[in-house]
Chain A
Amino acid sequence: GAVVSQHPSWVICKSGTSVKIECRSLDFQATTMFWYRQFPKQSLMLMATSNEGSKATYEQGVEKDKFLINHASLTLSTLTVTSAHPEDSSFYICSAMAGPYSGANVLTFGAGSRLTVL
């Protein structure tokens, strides 16, 4: 079945530094990738949608200059949290979709990356 690999699975960084999280579709080409964040005991919140070769579309309230998303190939999308602060500490999850953007399409999710900013 479809597999999405996310790396790193956890990261601890100092306040003010930038952190990059990678999301790779291992056995399929992902035309669209989605990035979510999840705070403890809360549901997933969609941050942005990225399509290969084009700029990401950010959800309302998500700072595009803080959360840089690059979808340079059909198998790789990256999320960079720039100048991270403790309030950015969260569980970041990517998902990928192959094929046309239809209601029947199933998403495959990565295992998530837990970011802790000290």
Chain B
Amino acid sequence: DAKTTQPNSMESNEEEPVHLPCNHSTISGTDYIHWYRQLPSQGPEYVIHGLTSNVNNRMASLAIAEDRKSSTLILHRATLRDAAVYYCILRDVGDKLVFGAGTILRVKS
């Protein structure tokens, strides 16, 4: 499984945008970039995923570098409910979803 590197923690103010970075320098051409988040005492939930192009959905945006060696999850307006652990995971055909340590996002009111 290709590896990802994320900051241990980040802090944001409520109502402000948050940019969560992820480095994946060994990504292969067929690896999809997935983001999941886990709120306290809950199972993870899907946030967004992409392959090469930037992606937007109702929860977030995913900006993928041109060389695909890094990506950024963008929460456009952080709320207290966005406080969670965010996981950036690479997944190829047949790959299991293997979780790293993730980034703990704290949102201040």
Give A contacts to B, CB under 8 Å: 4, 6, 34, 36, 43-46, 49, 91, 93-95, 101-112, 114
Answer whether residue B109 sits at the interface, using C-beta atoms and an 8 A cutoff.
Answer: no
Check B45 against A46 for contact (C-beta < 8 Å).
no
Partner of B49, one of A6, A106, A108, A114: A106
Chain A contacts for B87, CB-based, 8 A? 43
Q: Assuming A106-B49, A107-B46, is B41 touching A112 (CB within 8 A)?
A: yes
Query: Is there contact, CB below 8 Å, between A43 and B101?
Result: yes
CA distance A106 to B49 in the complex (A): 8
Give every chain A residue within 8 A of B92 (Cβ-Cβ): 103
User: In the complex, what residues of A have CB within 8 A of residue B49's CB?
Assistant: 104, 106
| A49 / chain B contacts, CB cutoff of 8 Å | 96
- Given A109-B43, A111-B42, A112-B42, the answer on whether A46 and B98 have CB atoms closer than 8 Å is yes
Chain A contacts for B102, CB-based, 8 A: 43
Q: Which residues of A contact B99 (CB under 8 A)?
A: 36, 43-46
